[in-house]
Amino acid sequence: MKSMYRYSALALLFGGTLSLNALAADAYDWNNVAPVKTPSIANNNGKTVYFDVSHGGVEGNADWVIDGAFSDFADALVQEGYTVKEYRGVDLNNDGRIRFYDDRSVGVNQNEAVITYDAIKEADVFVLAETNRPFTISEQAALEQFVASGKGIFFVADHYDADRNLNTWDATEVFNGYNRSDLSKYNMGGAYGDWRNPKNANAGWLVDNFGIRFRFNAVDYKQGVSGVVESSKTEGITQGVQPILMAAGATLAIVNPQKAKGLVYFSQTDTPVKWRHAKDQGLYFGGAAEGPYAAIAKSGAGKAAFIGDSSPIEDATPKYLRQDNGNTKKTYPGWTDTGNAAVLAVNIVNWLATPESYQYFDGSNGHTSGVATPTPMATQEYSDPNNGQPWGTPATGFNAWDTDTYKNNSYNAPYGNGQTNPDPDPDPTPTPGNTVSVEQALASAQGTDLVVIGKVSAAVNGIYGLELTDLNNPASHIYVKLESAQRGDFNPQLNPSILNQNIIVTAKRDSYMGEPGLRYVSDIQIAPTALSVEQALATAQGESIELTGRVKSALNDIYALVLEDSNNPSFTINVKLESAQRSEFSPQLNPSILNAQLLIKGVRDSYMSAPGVRQVSSIEVVGNGTTNPDTGSDMSVSEVLALANGQAVVVAGVITSPVNGQYALELSDDNNSADNLYIKLESSQRDAFSPQLNPSVLGKRLRVEGIKNDYMSHPGVRNVSKLTLLD
């Protein structure tokens, strides 16, 4: 991440040793060093924050590591003077690696992804983010001892059923100390004890120690939870804090107001709604009765803090791939989004890291007590609507408790890129076929191997990447992450002459800098300069040429085709097909080739008494050629929500709010504001259509032409080619 910070090459156990065996080319070596970020000597406050990844903080779509989707948070703490470390567990056999094993198995005592007091005692603050594996009794005792020693824990949860690794546990359950289900299988015994739902707000590990519990709700309120309690009642933590966005999160219930008190609540004017994927009513009471969104606790010498959503403190730079399917993760750019919790999060850590002698919020010495939540356990929270099942179906062959089933480049996976798995995944891997356009690449699934042609239009992230624009639609672009050996030739900042040149990139479809991208680039070539059909018509006969255009029609039965200019269809040229080319490129034999964008090499000649191309040596499909959707049959927002990603759409709805500042807008159905899409605006569209830059568009109907795709982890439309105000 940021170059001003040093990543320390430590053994995985802080303060431990890195054995020589760890240097061998072996499983886990690809990710064998836990990152550390350190402040400057002059700015060092002498305190340390650990971010835990030993219990599922990097599962599924979560990526709460300090050089991943919590990098902005970690960097802000370094600016405050903290040393920030990633905590992975305990190197029990001293081989320089931390391995996770299924510690629920009888007779297995090899799990090193564990929490012990000795391993974390050097930290001043321990951040637990979206923990997705339950704590053992001894781990709970270690956390209790940590707090009793005067230290602080920051519990970062998410909405109920945020079961990231599909093991039937989410952070609300793990932190509370019991599963929402009361099935007998959750009375695990042994190292864990009884984790069945006690159906009692006064029971559970979190309540016992901190007087508070996470609710099993799932609430959306991106406008920002605005009931920020005045700083004089919050130990000064809410000083400078603005309303905090909630992108599908949970609230808490205060059971003991002498131990716990709220920082941020829904105000009377807030209008939160049920998250659309909530398993029950999602929102139980509303207002302050729903309980605080963020809270703190003082129990004896130590402290704790809580927030019900990771979104407002994460950023859009995930480090790892998903463990279950190997797909790229998408994380919310909350740290820089409107409604971020950046000030709150730093204030919380500063408070947690400061030892204080008072024991409780009992009203003495200015430490005001909290307010008990009226109904701390709603009727809906007595049972599990999933009956103890995961929130999704695990991918074939994936087992959350077995790291050997994890995909390459996922956290805890045995292998990274470039390493050989002796038992490779039997699932077929896509292989590059014909060159595709940028628009086709944007519609391809994450993880697909592609060969993409496009025009270099800008540098991205300084010297580290480039923007590739579609040859026929400049509004469509994709980011390319360059490997170090490629930057000198292909990064526009280092080599300005590459700007506006056409290149062919062999890479994997992925995300880069929070945008659709290409990564793991294995090859880049300068594309031969192709002529348009109009330019080809002006070329002398007998000259070898390369041209590009769109297939208009068949010609002379199966023997030829008519190619039209992509920008001016009035210009056409006849292309004589060789016998081996007809089955694939003759529109009469293969109607699907109609409208496709082709790159053709041949000799300028005449054919059928008209300008043409003969002796064609190669033809490549460089664009799918789908024509613009029929703008006379607009889809509703709800209809688009039902479509799979990657489809071209024309959708009409009402502009209801800005999204991500000036960069996008929310489009809702005319009669149902609960159905909405996020429309990502291209730079040339923002002045006219961003509600933040142009408030007059709010409430107006808008037609959007683009590609159905997620934006900011929400259903949306991207690669927008046309916007039309309808009133």
What's the confidence (pLDDT) of residue 22?
30
Report which of residues 635 and 283 the model is more confident about: 283
- Opening angle at CA 452, ends 446 and 455, nearest 5: 120
Q: Where are the domains of the chain?
A: 20-382, 438-526, 533-623, 637-725
d(CA 216, CA 594): 53
Sign of the Cα pseudo-torsion (139, 300, 351, 223, in order): positive
pLDDT mean over 609-626: 81
Angle 632-635-637 from CA coordinates, rounded to 5°: 150
Residues 536-558 have pLDDT tens digits of 887 778 888 889 888 989 999 89
CB 36 within 8 A of CB 106: no
Q: What is the pLDDT of residue 271?
A: 96
As a whole number, the mean pLDDT across the chain is 86
Question: What's the mean pLDDT in 124-135?
Answer: 96
Please give the pLDDT value at position 654.
93
The CATH number fitting domain 533-623, selected from 2.40.50.200, 3.40.930.10, 2.40.30.60, 3.40.50.720? 2.40.50.200
Structure tokens at 72: 């902005």
Q: Do 533-623 and 637-725 share a fold?
A: yes
Element (H, E) at 490: helix 487-490
Express each pLDDT in 700-717 by its tens digit.
999 998 888 888 878 999
Q: Where are the beta strands (DSSP E) in 630-684?
A: 648-659, 664-669, 672-680
Q: What digits encode the pLDDT tens for the residues 385-434? A: 888 888 777 877 788 888 888 888 999 888 887 565 443 433 343 333 35
Cβ contacts of residue 370 below 8 Å, gap of 6+? Answer: 254, 257, 258, 259, 260, 261, 262, 295, 361
In this model, does residue 566 exceed pLDDT 70?
A: yes
Residue 471: pLDDT over 60:
yes
The reported pLDDT for the residue numbered 725 is 83
The radius of gyration of the chain from alpha carbons, rounded to an integer in Å, stands at 29
DSSP state of 403: G
Q: How far apart are the two ends of the chain, measured CA to CA in Å?
A: 46
What pLDDT, on the 0 to 100 scale, is given for residue 242? 96
Neighbours of 9 (CB within 10 A): 11
- Pick the range with the lowest mean pLDDT from 19-28, 116-125, 322-331, 648-657: 19-28
Q: Which of 297, 334, 11 is nearest to 147 (CA)?
A: 297
Q: What residue type is 534 in one-letter code?
A: E
Selection from 30, 36, 38, 32 nearest residue 51 by Cα: 36
Which H helix or E strand runs over 439?
helix 438-443
Which candidate, 658, 664, 639, places its Cα nearest to that of 650?
639
Q: How far is CA 666 from the centre of its chain?
A: 19
Whether the pLDDT of residue 624 is over 60: the answer is no
CATH topology of domain 637-725: OB fold (Dihydrolipoamide Acetyltransferase, E2P) (2.40.50)
364 or 177, greater pLDDT = 177
Lowest mean pLDDT among 110-119, 120-129, 626-635: 626-635
Give phi and psi for 648, each to the nearest 5: -70, 135
Sign of the four-CA dihedral 521, 522, 525, 527 = negative
Query: Between residues 337 and 20, which one has the greater pLDDT?
Result: 337
pLDDT value at position 1?
Answer: 32
Question: What percent of the chain is predicted at pLDDT more than 90?
Answer: 54
pLDDT of 627 > 60? The answer is no
Q: What stretches of 374-461 adopt beta strand conformation (E)? A: 449-460
Query: What's residue 633's pLDDT?
Result: 65
Architecture (CATH level 2) of domain 438-526: Beta Barrel (2.40)
Instruction: Give the pLDDT mean for 303-309.
Output: 98
For 506-527, how does the pLDDT look when each residue is reduced to its tens digit (9 = 90+)? 999 998 888 899 999 988 987 7
Tens digit of pLDDT for each residue in 689-702? 899 888 888 989 99
- Reported as a pLDDT band with limits 50, 70 and 90, residue 24 is very low
Residue type, 409: N
Q: What is the pLDDT of residue 555?
A: 93
Q: Look at 14-18, 237-241, 515-519, 587-591 and tell me which has the smallest mean pLDDT.
A: 14-18
What is the Cα–Cα distance from 357 to 138, expressed in whole angstroms?
26
Kind of pairing between the strands at 273-274 and 83-87? unpaired
CA 265 to CA 313: how far, in whole Å? 17
Q: Are residues 31 and 99 in contact, defined by beta-carbon separation less than 8 angstroms?
A: no
Rounded-to-integer distance, Cα 77 and Cα 588, Å: 65
Give residue-wise pLDDT tens across range 26-56: 556 778 889 999 999 999 999 999 999 999 9
pLDDT at 10 over 70: no
Lateral strand order in the sheet of 219-225: 244-249, 219-225, 273-274
**CB–CB of 349/125 below 8 Å?**
yes
Distance CA 36, CA 5 (A): 9
Amino acid 451: pLDDT:
86
Six-digit token string for 251: 């609230």
Q: What is the pLDDT of residue 629?
A: 38
The two structure tokens encoding residue 130: 């979206």
Output the pLDDT for position 420: 52
pLDDT at 15 (0 to 100): 30
How many Cβ atoms from other residues are within 10 Å of residue 208's Cβ? 16
Helix-strand-coil split of the chain, %, nearest 5: 15, 30, 55
Q: For residue 140, is pLDDT > 60?
A: yes
Inter-residue contact 466 to 481 (CB < 8 Å): no
Output the CA torsion 322→326→327→329 (10° steps). Answer: 20
* % the chain with pLDDT above 70: 90
Six-digit token string for 175: 């932190």
> Given this model, what pLDDT does residue 687 score?
82
CA dist 221 and 270 (Å) reads 8
pLDDT digits (tens, 9 = 90+) for 65-92: 999 999 999 999 999 999 999 999 998 8
Neighbour count for residue 577 (Cβ, 10 Å) = 24
Distance CA 78, CA 81 (A): 5
Give 148 or 189, the one with higher predicted confidence. 148
What are the angstrom distances between the C-alpha of 443 and each of 334, 624, 631, 640?
Answer: 26, 10, 20, 15
